[in-house]
Amino acid sequence: MLDQEATTGAPQAAAQTLDLDLAAAGVAGVTIVWADNNGIPRSRTVPVDQFGAAAARGVGVTPLFAVFDSHDTITFDHPPLATPSGDIRLVPVTDRLVHLAGQPSFAWVPGRQVAADGSPWPYDQRGALERQVARAAALGLELRAGYEIEFHLSAAGDDAPDPRPVYAGPSYGPTKLLAVDAFSGQLLRDLHRNGVPVGQFHGEYGPGQYELNIAPADPVTAADRQLLTRQTIHAAARAHGLRASFAPLVTPGHVGNGWHLHTSIARDGEHLLSGGDGPAGLTADGAAYIAGLLRDLPAIVAVTAPSLSSLQRLRPGYWSGAYTCWGVENREAALRLVPSTALLGPAHANVELKPSDAAANPYLALAVVIAAGLAGIEDGLTLPDPVQEDPGTWNDLRRAEHGVHRLPTTVQQQLTALLDNPRVRAALGEELTDAFRAVRASDAARAADLDPADVVRSYRWLY
């Protein structure tokens, strides 16, 4: 039997107590979830009377999930995983167990992937984030993160090439929520019962598009909650005859879904993105944190917006952050500083990464953001002046004068940025970096003969 503490890194309840408590609550099965290198949730479900055993020994899965591409092709372009042989264990992190409000017969729990003997496995995405959180703690730094999640709703069973959105009237108004009133009420209740704190929920800009934001938490909890929120939205949508799409671009040429990633950083309780003498109150270390993100932005975005659908979403003029720049409350900047105010207080200050979407594994996305920001602090980087205009309206010369460049627009450009960046590569580890590369290359090869509209449609229901 594997040592439970060494395997999961989290307190494990006694197996018999877990099984009995879950059964008494009406749970029939427990779904253990992780996210692959495409941002797609994968899972194993165990009957309730087997969950205690799964917590102790894990559940067997193939290591080849690390080289599944977005459409479930297994690529053997990564030599260490170029054989169908082998097995790893998926171990539930039991202190994150949730009895699903919208699926009362099931519980949900995130999983950690370990080697067959219980030792760390280099392709475990959750582990990559945990290493960066530990690195920050060793430097005396604490990070918090939160997600804004945008999604589109259409009627279930609408199999048209481009499904009709549930609402096509004015954006942001109460009638947009009224169109999905019963769904909205259940969703908010279910998220609360599932332990996901929500800051706000509203009808977004695009037809049939909605957004909610998850309150900030430590980075690992933030990533876990992002996966749980997806499950909760899907279940509530199904209950009301709806279907949710989280895809970066749902309909060709229309507004896409960003999953904007907000982070903040503190030392000994003092917030580094406020209270200083820099622009909008940045401290020197707070500015260095953002400068680290700016320096490594092309490689970061190769992880946070990695799909072919993501690349189509990242367009100038769509508030998606298509250029390498930062700004104070500038929604066209890839890095948007949200400063503290007298009304909101210093803890409110954070930096938003706009080129981030559902195609990103949430653990890897946070891992590379934290790694780049910490490196900025360690290297004492300084920030250029903020960009407070839309850089897409500038000519090439003016952008060059301000050090502003278009983010990569092809898979190959993204992979070059990733593989040429030692800090982001180190955050992932060499094995995971190359598996991620192989998956992205497989996606690109599959889509080589597809037109852009068909590419968008092929990603619509993946997440």
Number of neighbours of residue 332 by Cβ within 10 angstroms: 23
Tell me if 352 is assigned to some domain.
Answer: yes
pTM: 0.95
CATH code, domain carrying 249 = 3.30.590.10
Provide CB contacts within 8 A for 37, sequence distance 6+.
Answer: 66, 67, 68, 125, 361, 364, 432, 435, 436, 439
For residues 116 and 89, is the Cβ–Cβ distance under 8 A? yes
* Those residues with Cβ within 8 angstroms of residue 306's Cβ, 6 or more apart along the chain or in another chain: 38, 39, 359, 360, 414, 436, 440
Any idea what DSSP says for residue 379? T
| Tally of helices (H runs) and strands (E runs) in the chain | 16, 15
Looking at the fold, whether 170 and 220 belong to one and the same domain comes out as yes
Question: 445: which residues sit within 8 A by CB, 6+ positions away?
Answer: none
Q: Which of 264, 147, 245, 243 is nearest to 199 (CA)?
A: 147
Pair (330, 192) in one structural domain: yes
Asked which of 84, 99, 119 is the last residue of a domain, the reply is 119
What is the extent of the structural domain holding 82? 4-119
Based on the domain organization, do 35 and 153 belong to the same domain? no
Asked if residue 456 is part of any domain, the answer here is no
Question: Which residue, of 392, 407, 423, is where some domain finishes?
Answer: 423
Chain Cα centroid distance, residue 340:
24
Q: How many structural domains does the chain have? A: 2
Would you state the pLDDT for residue 14? 56
Q: Whose structure tokens read 């000519």?
A: 395
In a domain, 34, yes or no: yes
Asked whether residue 272 is assigned to any structural domain, the reply reads: yes
Q: What's the pLDDT score for residue 160?
A: 85
In this predicted structure, what is the pLDDT of residue 398?
Answer: 96
Please give the pLDDT value at position 158: 84
Let me know: does 272 contact 278? Beta carbons within 8 Å: no
The verdict on 227 and 323 lying in the same domain is yes
- Does residue 445 lie within any of the structural domains? no
Tell me what pLDDT residue 157 has.
87
With respect to residue 458, please indicate whether it lies within any of the assigned structural domains: no
Are 207 and 279 members of one domain? yes
Whether residues 91 and 222 share a domain: the answer is no
Domain end, chosen from 90, 119, 148, is at 119
Q: 336 near 323, Cβ under 8 Å?
A: no
Same domain for 137 and 91:
no
3-state secondary structure of 161: coil
The answer to whether residues 154 and 108 belong to one domain is no
Alpha carbon distance 222, 144 (integer Å): 8
Look up the CATH number of the domain holding residue 104: 3.10.20.70
Helices 297-304 and 411-419 cross at an angle (nearest 10°) of 120
Residue 323 shares a structural domain with residue 393:
yes
Same domain, 404 and 341: yes
d(CA 349, CA 340): 5
Full pLDDT tens readout for the chain, 463 residues: 223 333 333 444 455 577 778 899 999 999 999 999 999 999 999 999 999 999 999 999 999 999 999 999 999 999 999 999 999 999 999 999 999 999 999 999 999 999 999 999 999 999 999 999 999 999 999 999 999 999 999 999 888 889 999 998 899 999 999 999 999 999 999 999 999 999 999 999 999 999 999 999 999 999 999 999 999 999 999 999 999 999 999 999 889 999 999 999 999 999 999 999 999 999 999 999 999 999 999 999 999 999 999 999 999 988 999 999 999 999 999 999 999 998 988 889 999 999 999 999 999 999 999 999 999 999 999 999 999 999 999 999 999 999 999 999 999 999 999 999 999 999 999 999 999 999 999 999 999 999 999 999 999 999 9
CA distance 414 to 289: 22
Would you say residue 454 lies in a domain? no
Residues 360 and 324 reside in one and the same domain: yes
276 and 412 within one domain? yes
Question: Which ranges of 109-258 does DSSP label H, i.e. alpha helix?
Answer: 125-138, 174-178, 181-193, 219-239
Residue 457 belongs to a domain = no
